[in-house]
């Protein structure tokens, strides 16, 4: 929640003057929750979704721009997919692990 209000600091200031100012923050939060939910569904039902690997790979293009919750859900879903289809998804799991490692190193170096 703190990160949400940090990103929406101007809107929060506006909220003190007008109660409608916080609405874009809630919209942003819903987008994050929607993305994380979609990734979870794909990972959970990967054996029923023929192109689950392609769908999850499409989320990897913007991995560094995603919220931490979406990144963790993506990592979990791809590992689940790897456990269900190891032959087809080995490169995908290596890619997401590499991206996740880069993100954690970037966050660590920031502090």
What are 40-52's pLDDT values in tens digits? Answer: 989 998 888 888 9
Mean pLDDT value across the chain: 76
More confident residue, 29 or 94: 94
More confident residue, 104 or 71: 71
What is this structure's pTM?
0.68
Nearest to 11, CA basis, from 26, 21, 20, 1: 21
In the chain, the number of structural domains is: 1
The answer on pLDDT for 29 being more than 50 is yes
- Report yes or no on 26 lying in a domain: no
- pLDDT, position 16: 47
Domain holding 101, by residue range, is 34-110
- Report yes or no on 22 lying in a domain: no
Please report which helix (H) or strand (E) contains residue 68, including its range.
helix 68-84
- Report yes or no on 66 lying in a domain: yes
- pLDDT, position 5: 47
- Report yes or no on 2 lying in a domain: no
Nearest to 63, CA basis, from 37, 13, 25, 98: 98
């Amino acid at each position: 929640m703190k990160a949400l209000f940090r990103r929406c600091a101007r809107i929060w200031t506006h909220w003190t003057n007008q109660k409608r100012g916080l609405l874009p923050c809630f919209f942003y939060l819903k987008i994050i929750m929607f993305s994380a939910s979609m990734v979870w569904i794909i990972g959970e039902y990967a054996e029923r979704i023929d192109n689950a690997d392609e769908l999850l790979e499409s989320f990897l293009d913007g991995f560094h721009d995603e919220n931490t919750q979406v990144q963790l859900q993506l990592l979990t879903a791809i590992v689940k997919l790897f456990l269900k289809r190891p032959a087809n998804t080995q490169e995908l799991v290596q890619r997401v692990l590499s991206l996740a490692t880069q993100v954690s190193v970037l966050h660590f170096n920031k502090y």
